[in-house]
Chains A and B, each alone.
Chain A
């Protein structure tokens, strides 16, 4: 349960809000690199943290993320011409470079310096891995770029997709932290999904439906360990890292790729879910890659030309009662990603947490909320840089492992839960 004012603090991310300012301390994914595939690509409308922006790649290959609307009469630059050195408004021809600087006002005299006095808000946009990242905070406090492993392995080892989720970012993130739903909502996926099935860990998962939880605080966020019974004298541990504010990884299964998410607010009632799969030491196989593109594992299929899932609230997520009855899916909804989004969207755009009845097994969520609130307030009141800004905090992995009963998961997995280039993931 959260008081309504705390719920508002955590869910509102527009300019000037405490959580909005927190998000503006980090590099965040703005869009996929595939959305601006070549120099001079058509510009793309992007809304992030309740700000409407336009992303473009000029004719010389520079990326820009600027205010969507022309300074002149407020026309959307999405209609603009993307030219060699900038984006030209379709209405009266004003032209802007990737820094938002107006570089031409055709109606002014040839030698006019007027355009130099016009500059739109602009944010840096850099390609790292398959993602174009932006930083929307104070330029003087811009941190070093992100170091999440999935964007730094060779391109043949990684795959990222994106989907629009019609809910506030926090209820989406909380699904990534909440391990206890897996044995229910995703139970069929453990048996059937090509990117999940066949691991020894799945057997432990399904044999013990009443796991124990441990929550450990680390510099960048949390590690949440979930343990189930394994062979005599041993536990099977699944360890989920959360790096503030919104990076989570799913514990791996067998030799399947590792995967996770970044949950990024579009506005207070929508978010982008950037979903990745990668192998630390080998290329993804053709079958793995095809399965991801087909929407298996933690990915999904989008409506052609968009990032809106084919299964969405307008078609009740193509819920299939017969498949539910046959046990092919637990909720009747196909696919792990949409199983999650369907239920999270069903809560309403911003769930009223003053009405919820949490249980002890929700301790990871309780602690994550407390950390977000503390960080937002410390930033607002004392200017304290929040956890997760330092790229060193990004070098984490999820882990699945069998340990002796007396072993501490956090002490036993320090190496396994840290990025080690060239070293395979620890997975059962």
Chain B
């Protein structure tokens, strides 16, 4: 019976095995600025990326499906490769600039069975547009007025 304080002390005290492999993608410039600050903290297996929308004319369907991300040190990274061993995707947005990327990421994650979450920062019209853009592609959406929520969510997820 683990229902008394005395018995609760006998809960197995070994670390639970397995590390979460979280990918965090900032979908616009303001979101990237927030993510850079958050990425400076110590994380488990989390990897952080930004997405920069390119002029629409140069993107083929294939490019849209497998978008190019940028790591925190500026290197290019293909979404498909970065999702290879991922089990959680957190998208951060402040506006709907990254709607196409959200769609590509959402579809890629659905195909691979990767859980998706969206954090929308802000409470104005732009944030509302971001909610609309991410809604079809994020299984969980949280709108927040404080960037501390990004770190709180990633901490809670053991990212």
- Hey, which bits of chain A sit against chain B, CB under 8 A? 1-2, 166, 210, 212-217, 269, 313, 345-350, 352, 355, 357-363, 366-367, 369-370, 406, 408, 411
Question: At the interface, yes or no: B33 with Cβ under 8 Å from chain A?
Answer: no
Question: What is the minimal beta-carbon distance from A409 to any residue of chain B, in angstroms?
Answer: 10
Q: Tell me the bound Cα distance from A1 to B4 in angstroms.
A: 22
Contact present for B140 and A361 (CB under 8 Å): yes
- Hey, which bits of chain B sit against chain A, CB under 8 A? 1-5, 7-8, 11, 16, 20, 88, 90, 115-117, 128, 131-132, 135, 138-145, 148-149, 152-153, 155-158
Contact present for B143 and A345 (CB under 8 Å): no
Contact present for B149 and A348 (CB under 8 Å): no
Q: Could you say which of B1, B16, B140 contacts A363, with CB atoms under 8 Å apart?
A: B140
A313 surroundings in chain B (CB, below 8 A):
1, 3
Among B5, B88, B148, residue most surrounded by chain A Cβ atoms (within 10 Å)? B5
Q: Could you say which of A212, A355, A408 contacts B131, with CB atoms under 8 Å apart?
A: A408
Contact present for B132 and A348 (CB under 8 Å): no
B128 surroundings in chain A (CB, below 8 A):
408, 411
Contact present for B156 and A1 (CB under 8 Å): yes
Contact present for B11 and A359 (CB under 8 Å): no
Q: Could you say which of B1, B139, B143 contacts A212, with CB atoms under 8 Å apart?
A: B139
Q: Could you say which of B135, B145, B153 contacts A217, with CB atoms under 8 Å apart?
A: B145
A352 surroundings in chain B (CB, below 8 A):
8, 11
Contact present for A367 and B5 (CB under 8 Å): no
- Given A352-B11, A367-B142: A346 in contact with B156 (beta carbons within 8 A): no
User: Which residue of the partner chain B has the closest CB to A214?
Assistant: B141
Q: Could you say which of A215, A349, A369 contacts B141, with CB atoms under 8 Å apart?
A: A215
B138 surroundings in chain A (CB, below 8 A):
212
Query: Which 10 residue pairs are nearest across A and B when measured between Cβ atoms?
Result: A348-B8, A360-B117, A215-B142, A360-B140, A366-B156, A214-B141, A213-B140, A313-B3, A370-B152, A363-B140
Contact present for B156 and A362 (CB under 8 Å): yes
Q: Could you say which of A1, A213, A214, A349 contacts B5, with CB atoms under 8 Å apart?
A: A349
Question: What is the minimal beta-carbon distance from B38 to any residue of chain A, in angstroms?
Answer: 14
B156 surroundings in chain A (CB, below 8 A):
1-2, 358, 362, 366, 369
Q: Could you say which of A1, A2, A213, A348 contacts B2, with CB atoms under 8 Å apart?
A: A348
Contact present for B141 and A213 (CB under 8 Å): yes
Q: Could you write out 5 A-B pairs with CB less than 8 Å apart? A: A348-B3, A348-B4, A348-B11, A359-B88, A369-B152
